[in-house]
Structure 1
Amino acid sequence: MKGFDQVDGNQFVVFSLNEQLYAFFIEEVVEILRVPSITSIPGINPYIEGVINLRGNIIPIVNLHKRFQLPTPEKNKKNRIVIVQGKNENIGLLVDKINMVTKFDEEHVEPVSNNQTIEEDIVIYYAKHKEQVIGVLNLEKVLYDNHHVS
């Protein structure tokens, strides 16, 4: 997990899910795509939307709405897939839209308190940006910590 001191000066990719803002460190993001045709695969993890063929590579697509147990809105042309580097593979994350790429000043970032109800450690910081609060996500927990999924 990235240390609190690594926030200052780093860039973040900020995206939205159901009007809530979240971010990843930019170096975790490989690329951002428009949503292509997604091939569904029956019988796999419930929050895997399916797979896409990206330049000859099969990339699994995680629906972050399902991952975070949020209602899934209607698809629209602003939806994007954020390709991130997993442990041994690239993985696509389906998001509502990309809001911006930005930096957060250290004085506008706070660590997450321990008494929240969100899945443990999935949000590692909160950043304040223009009257909005952005949850900086722990990519490894988003991708691999699925103990609560039945």
Structure 2
Amino acid sequence: MSRLAPNPTTDESNDRPQETHVLEFDLGEERFCVEIGYIAEIVNTKRLRTIPNTPPHIEGVMDLRGETTKIVNLKTIFDIDGEFGDRIIVFKRKRGSNERIGWLADEVHQVREIRTDAVDQSVAGEGITGIVRREDDDEFVVWIDPTSVTV
């Protein structure tokens, strides 16, 4: 799995900015992205089974091709109003873990290539790598680091 370094730099071998691919998705009215290297697949929401005594951001679990997958509602984590969407971004397993995790999303958009030196890290915080400003429409996209989102 690829990972953006905490402080994006240039490619030392040729001093060119590094580029990576991110998947953009919506949570409510906000646009977010995550590095594509972490993603296993995108599926439609099926029936979720709620699990008692779990944190409020855990919507439940679902059967994904015979495997139990924990479904996380980022709207709860990031304090965004609204019902959860009907798409799930499923992540690759961490090395040495059997746990499958999926994030609920309202809408999943395209994969974009971005330059890591264009990421504004002045607003980085827990779970947030920074802000990407899309030049084609002046949209701000919040870049989420799935390794630091508390699930």
* Same-fold status (TM-score > 0.5): yes
Question: What is the DSSP-based 3-state SS (H/G/I as helix, E as strand, rest coil) of the residue aligned with 2:148?
Answer: helix
Q: Report the equivalent of 1:98.
A: 108
Q: Report the equivalent of 1:124.
A: 129
Distance 1:90 1:5, change over 3 A: farther
TM value normalised by structure 2: 0.80
Q: Max radius of gyration: which structure?
A: 2
Q: Report the equivalent of 1:13.
A: 23
TM value normalised by structure 1: 0.80
Structure 2 residue corresponding to 1:61, chosen from 66, 71, 89: 71
- Report the alpha carbon displacement of residue 143 of structure 1 after superposing the two structures with TM: 3.8
Distance 1:143 1:71, change over 3 A: same
Partner Cα separation in structure 1 for residue 83 and residue 64 of structure 2 = 25
Partner Cα separation in structure 1 for residue 84 and residue 58 of structure 2 = 17
Unaligned 5+ runs, structure 2: 11-16
Amino acid at match of 2:114: F
Partner Cα separation in structure 2 for residue 143 and residue 83 of structure 1 = 16
Partner Cα separation in structure 2 for residue 16 and residue 33 of structure 1 = 15
How many matched pairs?
A: 136
Tell me the percent identity.
24
Partner Cα separation in structure 2 for residue 92 and residue 43 of structure 1 = 19
Amino acid at match of 1:18: G
Question: What is the DSSP-based 3-state SS (H/G/I as helix, E as strand, rest coil) of the residue aligned with 1:112?
Answer: helix
Query: Does residue 2 in structure 1 map to residue 42 in structure 2?
Result: no
- Report the alpha carbon displacement of residue 10 of structure 1 after superposing the two structures with TM: 1.1
Q: CA RMSD in A?
A: 2.1
Partner Cα separation in structure 1 for residue 140 and residue 93 of structure 2 = 26
Distance 1:69 1:86, change over 3 A: farther
Instruction: List 4+ stretches of structure 1 deviating above 6 A.
Output: none
Query: Does residue 39 in structure 1 map to residue 49 in structure 2?
Result: yes
- Report the alpha carbon displacement of residue 135 of structure 1 after superposing the two structures with TM: 1.0
Partner Cα separation in structure 2 for residue 100 and residue 19 of structure 1 = 17
Assess if the C-alpha contact under 8 Å between 1:41 and 1:50 holds in 2: yes
Structure with the bigger percentage of helix: 1
Unaligned 5+ runs, structure 1: 115-119, 145-150
